[in-house]
Amino acid sequence: MARFARNLIRRRKGPAPLPGARIVVGLGNPGQHYAHNRHNAGARATADLLNLLGLKLADKSKHAISGQGETAHGPVVVAQPRTYMNESGQAVQSLLTIFEAQPESLILIVDELDIEVGKIRIRPDGGDAGQRGMRSIKGVLGSLDFPRVRIGVGRPYVGDVPSRDPDVVAEHLLSDPPRDEAAILRAAERRAAEAVVVILRDGIEAAMNTYNG
């Protein structure tokens, strides 16, 4: 009986289901070492989104940290994975399980190489565009049929040619941008958070019309 009681208490720890919630996940790598990297643009944007929605990161599970609650635009969960980018699928699946949600409830905020720094683009679905976090999520869920807000971090150049060398690309993504570029990127992250609010409030088409121009 005592063992049953301990198990019951253990199951009650952590975030509780939030019926009908949209789950917004900003991809990145955990830890202060990566906090200002280009690859963490999505995770940084969730901080702006939490402020806009009046939520706080208060719930921690094995794979993600999240804030949840009723907002002016319905119930919302905002989360950052505690996994590394290449294992983002584990975090997303964990969130869907915890909040008893389906993949169509997801909205992702991600960085993208092939979008100019400072630009954002919104898509209702589609492929992973080579983004490793997205690739991991597709591998776990089987598809990417949900909206994503993409923040341009630009592709690195070797001379006058955009590089597709994996080592060059990895160094670019896992480094901090110079100050002027960082300011442009931060502004894009704030717009990405605003775009998510428009998706929640008015729908994906309205957000695309506003931010994809």
Residues designated catalytic:
39
DSSP string, 101-128: --GGGEEEEEEETTS-TT-EEEESS---
Give the whole-angstrom CA distance, residue 75 versus residue 72: 8
Structure tokens at 106: 């997801």
Is 183 within 8 Å of 37 (Cβ atoms)?
no
Single-letter amino acid code for the residue at 132: R
Give the whole-angstrom CA distance, residue 100 versus residue 204: 23
How many Cβ atoms sit within 10 Å of the Cβ of residue 180?
8
First-to-last C-alpha distance (Å) of the chain: 62
